[in-house]
Chains A and B, each alone.
Chain A
Amino acid sequence: MALPPSLRTSISPPELQLVASEQLVEIVPLVSMERTAFISGAYGPLRPPTKCKVPLWMASNLKLKKKCHIVPPPWLNVDFLQERLLQETTDPSFSEMPFRFAEVAKILLDVAPDDLQNPDRVRGLLKDIREARQAKSREGLSKLDHNELMLPNLCAMEINEIRPFFVRGMAVLTQLTREPPQEDGMDQG
């Protein structure tokens, strides 16, 4: 890869997005298609107006060709996000969000804003949530010690964000605290 070595330690967001696009979403197809085998599995049959579950990559592909409507997942609407934002700002722990919500939301907002209700508001809320969570995860890093970091409900994108730092930070901390148990470690080695 052409990335500088500093970035190679973690996956890039587009890569995460690629990973996330294997997730299934519901679509309302506008064309009919028999059940078709793809590398990742067989999907279909598409029978308008019956809904169908297909991977996100396929949904976005069809959507770009105007061959389907994407049914937004139940967490991607103003009400739900507002409630989560409130939790996020009042509660010190992370609120429960789908593991890859950031990626999925980005794809859907990019590809199918017309299928979402009030996409601008959704986008704003997502940004707020992200900032609130980011603040928390940074704060959480301050509690980093050499053997564990517990941040429940942290999502893929956020883990990815702090990964370069905490991997190295943990390594340093481990080095700093290694002296006493060194013999044991040698024994084992």
Chain B
Amino acid sequence: MAFSPSRNLLAWTDTAGDLTRWSDPIPSSAPDPVKNSAGTNSVTVPVKRKATPTLFDDDNVAVARPEKRGGDVDLDEDLGIDLDNDDWILDDLDGALNDDGGEAKRLAAEGGVKEMVSVTKAQPAFQPGSTPMENKKRYLAYNMVGVIEVTDQDTHHIVNVEFHDRSLRKSYHFTDHFRYDIASLGERGALYACQPEAEHAAHVIYKPYGTWASQSEWTYELPAGTRVLGIAAGGPPPSKSLRDKSDVDGGGQGNVVLATSDGELVFLTGSGIERACLSMPGDFVTMVAGSEWVFIVSRDGSTTMDGSQNLTGRLIKFDDFCILQKDALPIPKRHTLKWVGITEEGAPAMYDSSGVLHLMPRFRIPLSATWMRVLDTNKLERREGKHESYWPVGLAGEAFMCLILKGRQAHPGFPRPLIQELAIRLPFKRTDPKEAPLEEHFARETMLLDILRDGLGEDELTTDALAARELALDKELIQLIQHACKTDRLARALDLARLLHLTPSFDMAIKVAGFYHLIGLQEKLEALKADRAADDRLEGLRDRRRGIADDFAPAPALRLPGAAGGGDARPKAFQDFRPPPALHRPGLERALPSRSGSGRGNTDTQMTDDVTVYGGSTQDDGWGTPSPDGKRKRPLDEEPPRARSPGLDTGVKRRAIGESASTARPAAAPQPRSNPFARKPAADSNNRNPFAARSADANKSVHKSESFFVKVDAAEADRGKQPKQSKAKPKEKEKKETVRQTTLFGLPPAQPAEKKAAGRKKKAGTPAGEESQDTAVRAESQTDTQTDVPMEESQEAETEGGGDTQVDEPSQVPNEVESQVQEPDAMDAEDPGTPIEWPDSPEPRTRELEAVA
């Protein structure tokens, strides 16, 4: 038997198989069963009514009706109506009084209707910590920094800002004619936004708390018609008081983010510089800004049919506007997001209408953090027997700061209630009185430690505070181990020992095992300890952080091998707009005191070293390219200091000198300038020297490598004669090996001659060395293309330089002095910190001088 859900109609079947329909079983005098009566405004009632009568009336009606149908209809009707009416009342009472289950129950009841009728109502955008206007007062923001209260004065608002820490920031109030209706209280400034009204467009105003500069406050106007949906002000917490104007830390004024109705997310700095304008994915819901990032909650798509709000949270970094985390918010169905915030440690947190607080502890690991349930307020002991709800304010360490609202209050009122602290507690289900609390505490503390440890970055291993907390945690673990040993659960004890942080704690665990005569466990623990001692846990963690950082390092842009580099290094004729190379006038040079000490000595030897190389480089065009990579690396480091500008002026002249040498020996190889340092630079085209333009031909580098081999070969050949040379670095020895191979590959027979040439060159002494420097510069300018360098060019360069030769050549000694003077200078200026390790062949220079003499 059933009532029709849509009409005043009752239908039933009896055991004989007859189906009977009874229209209008409920007289019009009684409340209509289908349409809402005036007395009921709940949507749920009609739905329920359909079901309840069947349950209640079955016996009465179904049994009674067949017989009584004739004349007793009225009675039955009355009976049915009475029951119905009772139900009406019950239903009403249910809806009105029985609100304990609150929202959930009502929503559950509505669920049936909604599924048929419409989708879940989408949660509107809100600012965390704000309340609606009640009695002409409202909170615009209430967080761990302070409170913004607004009082409506009809024609205008009074905004009153108070801070929890009055020693850090100064409270203030102002009269507001724009009716700011959303605000955000950041660590370094307060941000207000108003909506467009008849006479003005929407704008945002940022008021930094304390500043050393004038005019720190700024407004940001939005185009007419655009609304501001949400704003957030973030920034690092101030290390000093912001009340004192004279001393400010370097943290700036933070960052500002606004979400507009145009679907934009505008990022500004605390001083009003527009940094970026992103598009909002989906509908904006809320956001909150931390020191390094902003946590934005949006609805991607729409709510689902079954009641989920379908919210997604994103952490977007302020420095590069990249997504740090992106994850759906774990809000149960038919519940809404109530609050988002940032803990004192900087982790994002959220609270929903079901009363569960979530935290994202490992938020620093890009795109892989998870939400953890850290507190279920429905299970708090203090809530037993009371009717209260919690209005979140913030999260500091283990304390959940909130306002406790009595009864059905949804928002805090005035005067401002005191902030209460609730300890967070992971919702673990174990109830063992001894172990459960320890386990829970261990998990909670580990979670908090992870946040801190992730924040250490890639260099630090640990801090004192961290170490102290780890030690305390280890003590708890030892207690747990001891308990496990006592109850003979050895696998558990071993598992616990694996969680220990510090190596000395293992000794304690071993002692405990020994105390209970658990030899097997003791041995296992010792093995575990040895294992732990072998690889440092802290270093492992740091390496992991590094690994993650590397994984997420920006991918370099695609670079095509030939095209990119070669083109700009050597501009085409008539397309070179660079200034001509400076003329070097030693006479006009400033007299600089020569720097004494090892630095200078080094450069000298280095230069002479170059010279030797230079001599050798003659004919090796063919096999220069395959020079082993191993060699390249070292000079790379050394290059930068040498390659810079000081080389420039000397370079011009030097080239000339080089040419003079080559002209003297026309037979000698065309590219005498090769220099061991020039080799590497060719490889990295990045720090090309723009001034080195003309010296286009970096081909030297190509040849140079061979020249070096040759030199080394030569050195090996007359090792007996030159004991000093043989003393060369291990690196050089390595090279020798490689050299041997190359020789096999096809070393030209003319070595001794070259050697001589080299010797001759040495006479040029320092100038040649300088020239090598010059080549380095040029080589750098040249791109990585070693292979396809036209020889002619290099020769051209030489001949071109040849004109100067005569001028410079006589003044060898001055040059030398100069080079000495300039080189250390250059190095100092550019990179005093870098230890410069030149290939060490200490004496050759003096030797050469002797030769000259």
| Chain A residues packing against B (C-beta within 8 Å) | 28-32, 47-51, 67, 69, 71
Q: In whole angstroms, what is the CA distance A67 to B401 when docked?
A: 20
Instruction: Choose the segment among B164-172, B293-301, B701-709, B826-834 that binds chain A (4+ C-beta atoms closer than 8 Å).
Output: B164-172
Q: In whole angstroms, what is the CA distance A84 to B418 when docked?
A: 25
B396 CB contacts on chain A under 8 angstroms: 47, 50
Q: In whole angstroms, what is the CA distance A49 to B401 when docked?
A: 9
Q: A50-B396, A50-B399, A50-B401 are in contact. Are A30 and B164 (CB under 8 A)?
A: yes
Q: Mark B137-173, 1 if CB is under 8 A from A, else 0.
A: 0000000100000000000000000011111100000
Q: Could you jot down 6 A-B contacts, CB within 8 Å? A: A29-B165, A48-B166, A49-B144, A49-B419, A67-B166, A69-B418
B164 CB contacts on chain A under 8 angstroms: 28, 30, 48-49
Nearest Cβ on chain B to A68's Cβ, whole angstroms: 10
Which B386-430 residues have a C-beta within 8 angstroms of A? 393-394, 396, 399, 401, 418-419, 421
Residue of A nearest to B168 (CB): A32
A32 CB contacts on chain B under 8 angstroms: 165, 167-168
Residue of A nearest to B167 (CB): A31
Q: A50-B396, A50-B399, A50-B401 are in contact. Are A28 and B419 (CB under 8 A)?
A: yes
B393 CB contacts on chain A under 8 angstroms: 49
Q: In whole angstroms, what is the CA distance A1 to B399 when docked?
A: 48
B163 CB contacts on chain A under 8 angstroms: 48
Interface centre among A30, A32, A50, A51, by most chain B C-beta atoms within 10 angstroms, is A50
Nearest Cβ on chain A to B292's Cβ, whole angstroms: 21
Residue of B nearest to A51 (CB): B421
| Chain B residues packing against A (C-beta within 8 Å) | 144, 163-168, 393-394, 396, 399, 401, 418-419, 421
A50 CB contacts on chain B under 8 angstroms: 396, 399, 401, 421
| Tally of contacts, chain A with chain B, CB under 8 A | 37
Nearest Cβ on chain A to B346's Cβ, whole angstroms: 16
Residue of B nearest to A32 (CB): B165
Q: In whole angstroms, what is the CA distance A45 to B167 when docked?
A: 14
Interface centre among B165, B394, B401, by most chain A C-beta atoms within 10 angstroms, is B165
Partner of B418, one of A30, A48, A67, A71: A71
Q: In whole angstroms, what is the CA distance A48 to B399 when docked?
A: 13
Q: 5 other contacts beyond A50-B399, A50-B401, with CB at 8 A cut-off?
A: A29-B165, A30-B167, A50-B421, A51-B419, A67-B166
Q: In whole angstroms, what is the CA distance A29 to B163 when docked?
A: 11
Q: Is there contact, CB below 8 Å, between A30 and B166?
A: yes
Nearest Cβ on chain B to A34's Cβ, whole angstroms: 12
Q: In whole angstroms, what is the CA distance A168 to B393 when docked?
A: 58
Q: In whole angstroms, what is the CA distance A165 to B94 when docked?
A: 64
Q: In whole angstroms, what is the CA distance A42 to B421 when docked?
A: 22
Q: In whole angstroms, what is the CA distance A32 to B419 when docked?
A: 16
B394 CB contacts on chain A under 8 angstroms: 49
Q: In whole angstroms, what is the CA distance A30 to B146 when docked?
A: 11
Q: In whole angstroms, what is the CA distance A115 to B164 when docked?
A: 16
A69 CB contacts on chain B under 8 angstroms: 418
Q: In whole angstroms, what is the CA distance A31 to B169 when docked?
A: 10
| 6 pairs of A and B residues whose beta carbons are closest in the complex | A49-B164, A31-B167, A48-B164, A48-B165, A30-B166, A49-B419
Residue of A nearest to B419 (CB): A49
Residue of A nearest to B163 (CB): A48
Q: Is there contact, CB below 8 Å, between A31 and B166?
A: yes
Q: In whole angstroms, what is the CA distance A32 to B393 when docked?
A: 19
Nearest Cβ on chain A to B801's Cβ, whole angstroms: 69
A30 CB contacts on chain B under 8 angstroms: 164-167
Q: In whole angstroms, what is the CA distance A31 to B419 when docked?
A: 15
Q: In whole angstroms, what is the CA distance A30 to B165 when docked?
A: 5
Q: In whole angstroms, what is the CA distance A28 to B421 when docked?
A: 11
Residue of B nearest to A50 (CB): B396
Q: In whole angstroms, what is the CA distance A32 to B166 when docked?
A: 8
Q: In whole angstroms, what is the CA distance A30 to B170 when docked?
A: 11
Nearest Cβ on chain B to A107's Cβ, whole angstroms: 19
A71 CB contacts on chain B under 8 angstroms: 418
Interface centre among A28, A49, A51, A69, by most chain B C-beta atoms within 10 angstroms, is A49
B399 CB contacts on chain A under 8 angstroms: 50
Nearest Cβ on chain A to B452's Cβ, whole angstroms: 16
Q: In whole angstroms, what is the CA distance A31 to B170 when docked?
A: 11
Residue of A nearest to B143 (CB): A49
Residue of B nearest to A31 (CB): B167
Q: In whole angstroms, what is the CA distance A108 to B110 when docked?
A: 51
Residue of A nearest to B166 (CB): A30
Residue of A nearest to B397 (CB): A50
B401 CB contacts on chain A under 8 angstroms: 49-50
Nearest Cβ on chain A to B364's Cβ, whole angstroms: 23
Nearest Cβ on chain A to B390's Cβ, whole angstroms: 16
Q: Is there contact, CB below 8 Å, between A31 and B165?
A: yes
Nearest Cβ on chain A to B89's Cβ, whole angstroms: 35
Residue of B nearest to A69 (CB): B418
Residue of A nearest to B162 (CB): A30
Q: In whole angstroms, what is the CA distance A30 to B167 when docked?
A: 7
Q: In whole angstroms, what is the CA distance A67 to B144 when docked?
A: 17
Q: In whole angstroms, what is the CA distance A18 to B418 when docked?
A: 28
Q: In whole angstroms, what is the CA distance A89 to B484 when docked?
A: 53
Nearest Cβ on chain A to B191's Cβ, whole angstroms: 20
Q: Is there contact, CB below 8 Å, between A28 and B167?
A: no
Nearest Cβ on chain B to A188's Cβ, whole angstroms: 50
B418 CB contacts on chain A under 8 angstroms: 28, 69, 71
Interface centre among A28, A30, A48, A71, by most chain B C-beta atoms within 10 angstroms, is A48
Q: In whole angstroms, what is the CA distance A29 to B393 when docked?
A: 16
A29 CB contacts on chain B under 8 angstroms: 165
Residue of A nearest to B393 (CB): A49
Residue of B nearest to A67 (CB): B166
Q: In whole angstroms, what is the CA distance A67 to B393 when docked?
A: 21
